[in-house]
Amino acid sequence: MSVFRRTAGSRALVKGLRHHGYSSIATVQEPTLVSVMPNQMRVASEATSGETATVGVWIDTGSRYETDANNGVAHFLEHIAFKGTTKRSQLQLETEVENMGAHLNAYTSREQTVYYAKVLKKDVPKAVEILSDILLNSTFSKAAVNRERDVILREMEEVESQIEEVVFDRLHEVAYVGTPLARTILGPEENISSITADDIVKYVKTHYTAPRMVLAASGAINHDELVSLAGDYFGGVPMAPPDGYTFEDTPSLFSGSDVRDYNDDMPSAHMAFAFEGLKWTDPDVFTLMLMQSLLGVYDSKSAGAAHSSTPLTVALANSGLFTSVQPFCTCYNDTGLFGLYATANLAGYHEAQEVQQILQDEMVSLCTGVSDEDLAKAKSSLKLNMLMQMDGSSPTAEEIGRQMLTFGRRMNLAETWARIDAVDTSDVKRVADKVIWDQEVAFAAVGAGLKYMGDMNSLRRGTFWNRY
């Protein structure tokens, strides 16, 4: 099989950055090899020592590429793909995976769908073949579709019981009103009850095309063998959907609005404040990630909560009103969300006003500048979190697949570290001004005491301070 392109530039980049004093941790990373097949499907891998590997297919499609009429079909497809193919029944598939001692899984997000397997080194060829069979030969029988409806509806009930999931779904609804990112991943109950096998087949033909797919792997992997396997099992994936199978890639526009689900039977209030963040490829995305680290994480149950050094966590501990606060920086292809998720006790107007003021003041304070010492701590924290999230072949394969879809390449640790180290305090102030100062805000909340929280005008006024 002929291959158009292969790159291993990360080793050369690591060598160059080593002389500039960047972290030695980043210089030991193995290069990510990338090949592009004739049908434009990409193959990317990072070989490490050991006897296990993770291999999977990352696809550039998710709930944002659906319509109001078929919202939920991507997640439905993820479920039904394991229910049998033209070559294997569901039982045969499950038995084969179990006999290998492998882990086969999938997930759907707003912008990506992923199918992956963790296997022994010797079983990588079999894993690639199984993944191709699931993706290209699933039968989508009417009986299996009907059985899976009940499973998804039960899953929906479980998700509705997870308050944080509910709040973030509602946050997307009010942050991106009427645009694709407002849709939930599971879709509405009426869609789940009405999606047919034909709807699923149409979705696959429309979105599962080779240029939107990446075969990514990490661990005990031979790249040349992986490219050969990709040609054998994915070489026939079409480059474009058939005539008549088109979709509209509508941009998601951020708008400031709010939603509140009053429930005084709950012990506390769960809320999320968000500004429009940055897309994955924005040059300032690492500065925004550092702003997330600068805010810090608070958990009242943690023994060290009262001794945290970030201004936000100190204020939270002193108030005694918060159970937990978690900053978030969520990036998408064309936008993002930056803000705080909090759980707090709102016993009255005074408490609610204090909660709102602390959360907003500490975010707005980033616009007034941070110290070199605090920024250095944030850089160390961000780097550590990144390393922890890449500990193992599965997280590394996830990183490779996601970056190939979002950046079009793998950004190695040496480059990542260099970008983080290049951020200074003036960058933080500049990006904070752009994202936070006097900007529209989205707010979603569920729980008790929300009647005491300020209205949308109050939230909007909290995005700036009067300067004299």
Q: Does 248 qualify as catalytic in the annotation?
A: no
**pLDDT > 90? residue 246:** no
Structure token digits, residue 251: 């941009």
pTM for the full predicted model: 0.90
> Among 30, 46, 111, 148, which one carries the catalytic annotation?
148
pLDDT digits (tens, 9 = 90+) for 372-421: 999 999 999 999 999 988 888 999 999 999 999 999 999 999 999 999 99
Bridge partner list, 43: 35, 215
Mean pLDDT in residue range 50-74: 95
Task: Give the containing element (helix H, strand E) for 261.
Answer: strand 258-262
Q: Does 148 qualify as catalytic in the annotation?
A: yes
Which residues touch 309 (CB under 8 Å, ≥6 apart)? 296, 374, 377
Whole-number pLDDT of residue 274: 98
Whole-number pLDDT of residue 307: 63
The DSSP secondary-structure symbol of 220 reads: S
pLDDT digits (tens, 9 = 90+) for 134-169: 999 999 998 999 999 999 999 999 999 999 999 999
In which band, very low, low, confident or very high, does the pLDDT at 19 lie, cut at 50, 70 and 90? Answer: very low
- Alpha-carbon distance 126 to 55, whole Å? 11
pLDDT digits (tens, 9 = 90+) for 261-295: 999 999 999 999 999 999 999 999 999 999 999 99
> Among 30, 46, 66, 78, which one carries the catalytic annotation?
78
- Alpha-carbon distance 92 to 103, whole Å? 15
